[in-house]
Amino acid sequence: MHYYTPKCLLFISLFAFACQTAKKEDLLSEASRHDNNGWIYVHLEGTPASIGYQHGYLLAPEIDTNIRSMAYFLEHETKKDWQFYRQCAANFLWDKVDREYKDEINGIVAGLKARHKDYDSLDITALNAMEELAYYYIPQLMDKQKPGSGDNKTPGNCSAFIATGSYTKDGKIVIGHNNWTSYLVGQHWNVIADIVPEKGSRMLMDCMPGFIHSGDDFVITGNGILITETTITQFKGFDSTQIPEFVRARKSAQYSNSIDDVIRLFVTGNNGGYANDWLIGDIKTNEVAKLELGLKDHKVWRSKDTAIIGSNFASDPKLIAEETTFSISDTTTSPNARKRRMEQLVTDLKGKIDLDQGKLIESDHYDAIHRTKANNKCVVCGHVDEDRSGCMEWDWAPFYPGGTVQSKLTTADLAKDLKIWAHMGHPCGQDFVAAPFYKLHPEYGWQAKYLATLKAYPWTLFEAQK
């Protein structure tokens, strides 16, 4: 699978030489791992290289499986093999990664090699950039072949909210997020990483094995900053000369002390990749904000008394017109249907939103379009695998095996102690079992190589290691 370039080999060799004087036990002395209710909790601490080594070593089997399954999935979905993604990392991603994150990525490679997993920095960089490469860069390449086609189906994966002031039970911030994606991909979004870096803020976040950022983006920090997002559906635009989204996302979490810092770090060097509505909170000021970030356009809304929801719709008319092909008037789409339901929920629950109500929001099954409970693309806890219409705005055909794969919540009081509640699998509690599904829908049998079951586990409290 791997094609090593001299440049990449040089980075690995230099890192390996630097680590020769450090014993494995020393590099791992501050790290730990434990598995709980479908999640893998890891504590990583130290220099960028040490954090990377701990990550690669402790999660080596999972990183190996993740890369193999992502390479398989992306080749089927985008018609580009893993070498293409590695070449993107070499051509225009690696030179825009900050030195400390290069060291962390090389550390992951060293940890993997210590566990006899043969990957390099291009593999890990490509893995971290998979969303922006697959759904932003590749469509841009295709659009150059078909000028003006507007043939982009950038998926919108997630339902989220952030509330404060008169909307919450105690007047403080409550934030929640559930991750929508292909079940094959989402089963790997099962890491809770507690990262204590040498510089910047401590971070507690969910992520994939091998990610240096959250990726689906739920992160709380020792500086009292809370960040989540939902993707802008059918977004078009990418600038390969600018800073990768995964780098800006990690920097925004690690080095922000305010909402203004988060906005500045996301906007600076913006490449348009993984265009999102970022929901941001600061428990020091009790203020929340939404940063709608395209490539050419961005807009900010902020308040100390509001409930902001996200379900993969954009709000700025200028951005919608210039940078998407999404229809805001089509009530049948998943983003618009969930928007209607979530707006109703936060309005009905005004003054009551707390942890328990947040769990109910993220597991909600009411279809506001058809006015009934359902398992489909229109509900907050999505089950497109049961939807005969699919989700064509994302190019998900009927009964596509995708939807909500996990969920996270926290409150201001929990966040100040770096604690989050997390639920692996559908937050409604329903398992996805692939074997009977493939019998009914053999067109998805190709996924059987890597997707068997997505089990729903109980809600579980995670906290930063003392």
**Quick one: which of 283, 268, 175, 190 has its CA closest to 230?**
175
Three-class secondary structure of residue 45 per DSSP: strand
End-to-end CA gap in the chain: 40
Three-class secondary structure of residue 144 per DSSP: helix
Q: What would the DSSP string read from start to end of 63-105?
A: HHHHHHHHHHHHHHHHS--HHHHHHHIIIIIGGGS-HHHHHHH
**Domains (range + CATH), the chain:** 6-31+48-145 (1.10.439), 159-463 (3.60.60.20)
pLDDT at 142: 76
Dihedral class, residue 136 (left if φ above 0, else alpha if ψ from -120 to 50, else beta):
alpha
Return the amino acid letter for 4.
Y
pLDDT at 323: 94
Q: Which long-range contacts (CB under 8 A, 24 or more apart) does 444-451 make?
A: 444/399, 444/400, 444/401, 446/76, 447/73, 447/183, 447/184, 447/401, 449/69, 449/72, 450/65, 450/68, 450/69, 450/72, 450/73, 450/184, 451/183, 451/184, 451/187, 451/401
**Quick one: which of 359, 315, 362 has its CA closest to 341?**
362
Query: How does pLDDT run along the chain (466 residues), one tens digit per residue?
Result: 444 444 444 444 445 434 444 677 789 999 999 999 999 999 999 999 999 999 999 999 999 999 999 999 999 999 999 999 999 999 999 999 999 999 999 999 999 999 999 999 999 999 999 999 999 999 888 766 454 444 567 777 799 999 999 999 999 999 999 999 999 999 999 999 999 999 999 999 999 999 999 999 999 999 999 999 999 999 999 999 999 999 999 999 999 999 999 999 999 999 999 999 999 999 999 999 999 999 999 999 999 999 999 999 999 999 999 999 999 999 999 999 999 999 999 999 999 999 999 999 999 999 999 999 999 999 999 999 999 999 999 999 999 999 999 999 999 999 999 999 999 999 999 999 999 999 999 999 999 999 999 999 999 999 999 8
Return the amino acid letter for 60.
A
The structure tokens listed for 301 are 């809304």
Q: Whole-model pTM?
A: 0.94
C-beta atoms surrounding 371 within 10 Å:
8
pLDDT at 154: 78
Residue 221's H or E segment, with its range, is strand 218-221
Q: What would the DSSP string read from start to end of 280-323?
A: EEETTTTEEEEEEE-SS-EEEEEESSEEEEESS----HHHHHHH
Q: What is the dihedral of CA 253, 255, 260, 266, to 10 degrees?
A: -60
pLDDT at 155: 79
DSSP 430: -
Three-class secondary structure of residue 444 per DSSP: helix
User: CA 394, CA 153: separation in Å to the nearest integer?
Assistant: 5
User: CA 371, CA 196: separation in Å to the nearest integer?
Assistant: 46
Tokens 């109500």 label which residue?
Answer: 357
pLDDT at 7: 47
pLDDT at 14: 47
User: CA 193, CA 213: separation in Å to the nearest integer?
Assistant: 9
pLDDT at 53: 98
pLDDT at 17: 39
